[in-house]
Chains A and B, each alone.
Chain A
Amino acid sequence: MSNLAVRLLPVPLFLAAWEAGCRMAESTYFPPPSLIAARARELWFSGPATRLFLTDAAIENFVPSLGRMFGGWLLACFAGIVAGVAIGRSATLSAYLDPLIQFGRAIPPPALVPVFIVVFRDDLRMLLATIVIGVVWPVLLNAVDGARYVDRVQVDTARVFGLTRTQRLVRLVLPAAAPKIFAGLRLSLSLALVLLVVAEMTNGTINGIGYELVYMQQSFDMPGMWGIVALLAVLGLVLNLSFLLLERRTLSWHRLARRAV
């Protein structure tokens, strides 16, 4: 625990330096962190205790944003894992689809946002399509990779002991590919946050974190804008850390087995 404290010691130091620097510079573009925090509290965290102190603005913008992000991410995870494992286990399927996959993942997802705006018209479907199309690739490619290179001795073992196709898939291929799949899932989660913000900023969504950011920009609310950026930083960090925690719990065998070798 003290180890963690030592490692986090630079954080208050950094905050203090930031505060001091901004106060000295006295630039409207660089409000000191204390001001940013006060503004963020006023905007989003001064609600009633029964609602976890969240204000209406916070609930109206953050809740839909998180819903879209997780919704799109989960859809992409499901599609990516199913398709990826199938492609990874079948050389034929892989040969037919490889050029399409290579091309699909090379298209920068934001380039499709305007297309989806025209094609889908309503916000939710546009946002979901952007996130799904954008984040499915890391999941898919990692699942293909993980499912393709299952150890030969393990495959032989499963065959010798007569495991059925389903049993081999569930008991061998999926666990063996899991470390790779998890790496893809984590990557795609942080990508989902980026695409959420891009998509919400691009078109006239009526709410969301990206919308709030554009609104702050238009009203020249500098502390508010910095507040959104800080909020996104914390959100990204929390998402990444919680996913790492999940990964450690689920894949403890992988970590420990590798250490044992």
Chain B
Amino acid sequence: MMIRTAIRGAAGVAALLLVAEAAGRTGLADTRILPLASTVLARVAELAGDPEFLQDIVATLTVWASGLLVAVALAIPSGVVLGSLPRAETALRPLIEILRPIPSVALIPLVALLFAADGQVKTTIIAYAACWPVLINTLYGMHDVDPLARETLRSFGFGRRAVLLRVSLPSAAPFVMTGVRLAAAVALIVAISTELLSGGVGGIGVFIMKAGSGYRVDLMLAAAVWAGILGMVVNALLVRAERSLFRWHLARAGVVA
């Protein structure tokens, strides 16, 4: 059954590539604008061995990781504090709701004027975008704590701190992890956006911009494919981490692995 699914998946991918290739070969699509699928695939393979492009990938991963790290470092503690102080949360909720929908890329011009260093600008923008999923999920997790578990501990004479440490944090942890996974995807999107919009020394976005100024659609698409692969790998790793860390949570939520 697994094998059949895999074969069908491969067939789907092959069919799409064949159709794209045929469209170019028969002249249905203008290959001067949209290169052949085989050309793009060849570029994808070439880029894997291109040290300059590998440096671009490292550059993107660096800003991505630093932005995500800042977001996590700020958002989880804020979420835990706000989640255990209902009044503070009520007071700050409208602020969160106003700040959250601001497209982070719209802040690039402002932040670019504030910081001279390119890395700081990107990290700030990525952190801004990535902190919301973490914060919202942490808050949600803190609310989802089973009151019965909390009261059980209280009834045994444990204090607020012990309750927070032994009940609230462990039961909020899976939600926090989900938030981090969502934030990682957002951070990658924003990392590439900032590279496209504010340039810089290196990065997948910078590579794509350069390829674009030379009208090299084949290179642009190949770089986009690598960005997609990067996104899939990051997501797969985080999903795996989530599964192995929080098996008990998945069982409780009725998710059958």
Contacts and interface: CB of A to CB of B under 8 A. Distances in A.
A119 B94 contact: no
Contacts of A222: 113
A95 B8 contact: yes
A92 B4 CA distance: 10
Interface stretch (B72-80, B210-218, B244-252): B210-218
Contact of B196 (A99, A113, A194, A210): A113
A119 B217 contact: yes
A117 B58 CA distance: 26
Interface residues of B, number: 62
- Sorting the interface of chain A by its residue count into under 10, 10 to 19, 20 to 34 or 35 or more gives 35 or more
Interface stretch (B44-52, B169-177, B225-233): B225-233
A111 B208 contact: yes
Nearest to A239: B101
B130 interface: no
Contacts, number: 154
A225 interface: yes
A79 B101 CA distance: 25
A110 B189 contact: yes
Nearest to B217: A118
B9 A98 contact: yes
Given A106-B231, A108-B189, A110-B196, A217 B224 contact: no
Contacts of B85: none
A113 B110 CA distance: 22
Nearest to A91: B5
B103 A99 contact: no
Contacts of B217: 115, 118-119
B257 interface: no
Nearest to B91: A10
Contacts of A99: 9-10, 12-13
A210 B65 CA distance: 27
Interface of A: 7-8, 10-11, 14, 29, 92, 95-100, 102-104, 106-115, 117-119, 190, 193-194, 197-198, 201-202, 210, 213-214, 216-217, 222, 225-226, 228-229, 232-237, 239-240
Those 9 A-B pairs whose CB atoms lie nearest each other, nearest first: A236-B101, A106-B231, A217-B109, A114-B212, A107-B228, A96-B12, A95-B8, A194-B103, A99-B9
Interface of B: 4-5, 8-13, 15-16, 33-34, 90-95, 97-110, 112-114, 188-189, 191-193, 196-197, 204-205, 208-209, 211-212, 215, 217, 220-221, 223-225, 227-232, 235
